[in-house]
Amino acid sequence: MVLELQKPRPIWQIMFSTHHTDIGLLYTIMSLAFLFMGGALALAIRVEMFSPGPQFIADSMTFNRIFTVHGTNMIFLFLLPFASAVGNYFIPIMVRYKDMAYPKLNAIAFWMLPPAAALVWLGFADFGWYAQPPYSAISAPSPAAEMWIFGLKIIGVSSILGAINFIVTILKCKHPDLPLSKVPLLGWSFLSSSLIVLVAIPTFAAALLMLLTDRLGVTGFFNPAMGGDPIAYSHLFWFTFHPEVYVLVIPAIGMMYEIIPRFSRKPIFSHSSGVFAFVLLSIVSFASWAHHMYATGMSFTEKTVFMVGTLAAVPASAMHVFNFLATMWGGRAKYSTPMMWSVGGIALFFSAGAGGVVNTAMPLDFITHDSYWVVGHFHLFVFGTIAFGSFGFLYYMFPFITGRMYNELWGKVHFVLIFIGAVLVFFTQHILGLYGMPRRVFDYPEIPEWIAMNQIQAVGAVLLGVGMTIFLVNLIYSSAKGKEANMEDPFGLGGKYYYPYQAKNPHHD
């Protein structure tokens, strides 16, 4: 029989539930709420930078606080929780089990996030989203810095608990008739990213503990006055957060692996190469952290090692892109909203990767280091690839979660506005970086090229805001008043292309 996704129960029951679909819905609601909160801060930043001089943000300290919370929020409170939403909702169904391996632990992992988010937002720290010492270790105002540290510690524990749950569910709870080699690629993406989390997050947890004890005056790990080294924090931070980029992008690619074969109405070109590419990305994600640190005085040999390690991610990423294109080639593609987001995500993923090669090459990195080029490159990955894959999958999930269909026309308008806005903002940031504008600045001199490009970015940001407003209205209205979905085939793809995971006993013990 074809498995059907269980509809979530009413919200007052979901709040106290441990069922995987209910936890997935809670993650979805929370991540979308923080998407719009963080997006409002991003729009404020871009409008403030419309022209030189203060516009409506009073001073650089306030600007830095907005910048810090925007970055922390989007990574830890939107992208990570949304990936958890997808994993919770779909992974047990894909491995043909009744729930996650540890349902209560799963609920605990979710309910750790709201207090962590409150600490981040109420603290409103001012030292950037990665809290670089010595400022963060010595001078950053209290209690904002401590609230940020504790908030990130809680999020880290939540991520580890979630990763353990995904790993055990996939490896130990899958149906006996389902070999690991046949687990869908979305399942492999969560297995790979969860293994990265288990290795990477404890390092950052240690760095946060060291930072906290430095602030309390007990230690001097990162305090130069006490013999400490701020660069040591950078190594600990990037050892976690370069792999963390892959923790975010690998599930997004897995989501595209669900969408593209369905809407191409054709089997995936190569399942085994997708698995190999996920495993390879998981390994090489730990071979490239110090390419963020070429300007810190490392030796030429060290830089070369990390340059090669970074370039090793290129063939693995290219394998995914080739897999997507080969799957679409010759298929009868239906460009519904989920497919449009996936194809747009592939295009921006390729663009972001091309910019990353520039950051990897030492001579070019010294030109673009700490410039707006880096901002554009990073946002093309986290927004142009990860968020695009997430939006596409949210539209794909919508009829299963609500039992209703979204408005297809407005879904496509949402995509067009966001794609144009992303190009205007993030491609322009690349060019602005080549013109020499540094990142993380509250004000800038009256250089005509800088002014023009910041104004283009502001226009793009407004388009993003309009597109997201349309998305929110479509989401809320359709969930209440939308056309009832045909749960057998909501997108009209034909039965065998719809959801082909079958089992005689989907709820085995």
The partner residues of 466 in beta bridges, in order of sequence, read: none
Q: pLDDT at position 332, please?
A: 87
For residue 377, give the amino acid letter. Answer: H
Contact 400, 6 (CB under 8 A): no
User: What is the rounded average pLDDT of the residues 79-98?
Assistant: 93
User: What is the rounded average pLDDT of the residues 320-346?
Assistant: 94
Six-digit token string for 18: 């441990």
Six-digit token string for 165: 């749950």
pLDDT for 219-242, tens place per residue?
999 999 999 999 999 999 999 999
Q: pLDDT at position 330, please?
A: 87
Among 416, 328, 429, 327, CA closest to 382: 429
Six-digit token string for 123: 């603290």
pLDDT for 7-19, tens place per residue?
546 777 888 899 9
For residue 390, give the amino acid letter. Answer: S
The DSSP 8-state label assigned to residue 298 in this structure reads: -
User: What is the rounded average pLDDT of the residues 61-77?
Assistant: 95
Percent of the residues in the chain that have a pLDDT greater than 70, as a whole number: 95
Contact 324, 348 (CB under 8 A): no
User: What is the rounded average pLDDT of the residues 272-290?
Assistant: 92
**Residues contacting residue 418 through CB under 8 Å, at least 6 positions apart:** 388, 391, 463, 464, 467, 468
pLDDT for 444-470, tens place per residue?
999 999 999 999 999 999 999 999 999
Six-digit token string for 149: 């540290």
Six-digit token string for 343: 């194809």
Least confident of 336-345, 413-422, 483-492: 483-492
Distance CA 423, CA 426 (A): 6
Q: Is the pLDDT of residue 21 over 70?
A: yes
The DSSP 8-state label assigned to residue 126 in this structure reads: S
3-class SS at 216?
coil
Q: pLDDT at position 500, please?
A: 40
Among 482, 472, 406, 474, CA closest to 32: 472
Q: Is the pLDDT of residue 502 over 60?
A: no
**Residues contacting residue 381 through CB under 8 Å, at least 6 positions apart:** 245, 249, 349, 352, 356
The partner residues of 371 in beta bridges, in order of sequence, read: 438
Among 270, 265, 334, CA closest to 496: 265
Q: Is the pLDDT of residue 498 over 50?
A: no
Q: Is the pLDDT of residue 339 over 50?
A: yes
Q: pLDDT at position 497, please?
A: 52
Q: Which domains does the chain have, with CATH numbers?
A: 20-496 (1.20.210.10)
Distance CA 188, CA 201 (A): 20
Six-digit token string for 120: 């981040």
User: Across the chain, what does the average pLDDT equal?
Assistant: 91
pLDDT for 130-156, tens place per residue?
899 999 999 999 999 999 999 999 999
Q: pLDDT at position 7, please?
A: 54
**Residues contacting residue 361 through CB under 8 Å, at least 6 positions apart:** 307
Percent of the residues in the chain that have a pLDDT greater than 90, as a whole number: 75
User: What is the rounded average pLDDT of the residues 478-491?
Assistant: 87
Q: pLDDT at position 493, please?
A: 84
For residue 323, give the amino acid letter. Answer: N
What pTM did the predictor assign? 0.93
Q: pLDDT at position 331, please?
A: 86
